[in-house]
């Protein structure tokens, strides 16, 4: 039976270049996925507002997305014939939430500002101009990044030792803190791995008995849960930090190229295993 392949990918530092946010170097592999009708499922700490235009540009508008580090999945209507439990309408799509709203974390950070004065700056405090300054995004992109629903990225300004205390205080108050390429993301108890498993189950329900092979692609600590959860894992080499540590060793690839170049190299090698003539 023809297997169903699924690709779950991080954006910044993986499919998108860490510095330029471009994905040209991965164009060949992206187009192979598109022509093979293989779902390209974006899984990022980015917001829905930021991810929508990227998904469109990548030709992946038919496919679900994992937003804000796994806080929710957004699924185009008609993707699955079996209704998704607890799905909420979200524009033309449906959204399934796994985490509480951002307001909870903003209130907690306001409380912690007394104990950690001038040691951190969240997106809410930075504002659009501040987000631009720390990310290098243009004004329009920074405005989309500010439209968060579930999570608050925080720039740490203090020492590593104090950061540990800060993370411990957040976790003691019920937050989950994940280290991305640039920010600590403060959110509820959700991650990209849970969201991957949720979507894999939804695809499997649609295709009873048909084998599903999935790959997760990432470069940072916040990708680890999905890199552990997927059948195959592709670690993308970063220009700024080492590969994140994984508990697993089987089914793991590490790219030679950086960012999108490594992404392309790893995806093409993975597709080779299935002779690429697969799809729906």
Q: Which residues bind Mg ion (CB under 5 A)?
A: 10, 12-13, 181, 219-220
Compare residues 9 and 93 and give the one whose CB is closer to Mg ion.
9
Q: Which residue is nearest to Mg ion (CB)?
A: 13
Whose Cβ is closer to Mg ion: residue 10's or residue 119's?
Answer: 10
Find out whether 241 and 38 touch, Cβ atoms under 8 Å.
no
For strands 212-218 and 4-9, give the pairing.
Answer: parallel
The least CB distance from residue 42 to Mg ion, in Å, is 12
Cβ 45 to Mg ion shortest distance, Å: 8
Going by C-beta distance under 8 Å and a sequence separation of 6 or more, which residues neighbour residue 225? Answer: 70, 191, 192, 193, 194
In whole angstroms, what separates CA 239 from the centre of its chain?
19
CB of 68 closer than 8 Å to CB of 163? no
Nearest approach, Cβ of residue 223 and Mg ion (Å): 6
Q: How far is the CB of 254 from Mg ion (least distance, A)?
A: 15
By beta-carbon proximity to Mg ion, the closer residue of 12 and 50 is: 12
Instruction: For residue 237, count other CB atoms closer than 10 A to its CB.
Output: 21
Q: Please report where in the chains the tokens 């329900």 appear, as a residue.
A: 205
Phi, psi dihedral angles at 276 (to 5 degrees): 60, -5
CB of 4 or CB of 266, closer to Mg ion: 266
How far is the CA of 93 from the CAs of 38, 99, 198, 202, in angstroms?
Answer: 20, 18, 17, 15
Closest by alpha carbon to 192, among 220, 223, 213?
223
* β-strand partners of 216: 8, 233
Using the minimum distance from each CB to Mg ion, give the nearer residue, 132 or 220: 220
CB of 51 to Mg ion, least distance (A): 13
Q: How far is the CB of 272 from Mg ion (least distance, A)?
A: 24
Query: Phi and psi for 147 in degrees, rounded to 5?
Result: -85, 70
Give the nearer residue to Mg ion in terms of CB position, either 181 or 225: 181
């Amino acid at each position: 039976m023809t297997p169903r392949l699924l690709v779950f990918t991080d954006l910044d530092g993986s499919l998108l270049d860490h510095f330029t946010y471009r994905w040209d170097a991965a164009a060949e592999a992206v187009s192979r996925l598109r022509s093979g009708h293989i779902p390209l499922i974006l899984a990022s700490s980015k917001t829905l507002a930021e991810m929508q235009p990227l998904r469109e540009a990548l030709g992946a508008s038919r496919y679900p997305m994992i937003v804000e580090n796994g806080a929710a999945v957004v699924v185009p209507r008609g993707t699955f014939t079996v209704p998704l439990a607890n799905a909420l309408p979200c524009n033309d799509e449906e959204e399934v939430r796994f985490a509480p709203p951002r307001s909870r974390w903003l209130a907690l950070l306001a409380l912690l500002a007394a104990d950690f004065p001038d040691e951190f700056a969240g997106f809410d405090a930075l504002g659009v101009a501040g987000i631009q300054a720390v990310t290098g995004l243009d004004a329009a992109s920074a405005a989309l990044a500010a439209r968060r629903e579930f999570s608050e990225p925080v720039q740490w300004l203090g020492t590593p030792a104090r950061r540990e205390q800060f993370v411990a205080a957040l976790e003691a108050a019920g937050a989950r803190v994940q280290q991305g390429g640039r920010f600590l993301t403060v959110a509820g108890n959700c991650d990209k791995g849970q969201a991957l498993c949720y979507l894999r189950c939804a695809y499997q329900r649609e295709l009873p008995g048909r084998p599903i092979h999935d790959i997760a692609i990432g470069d940072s600590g916040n990708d680890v849960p999905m890199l552990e959860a997927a059948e195959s894992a592709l670690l993308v080499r970063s220009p700024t930090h080492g590969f994140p540590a994984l508990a697993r060793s089987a089914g793991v690839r590490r790219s030679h190229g950086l960012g999108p170049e490594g992404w392309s190299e790893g995806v093409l090698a993975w597709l080779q295993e299935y002779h690429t003539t697969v799809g729906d």
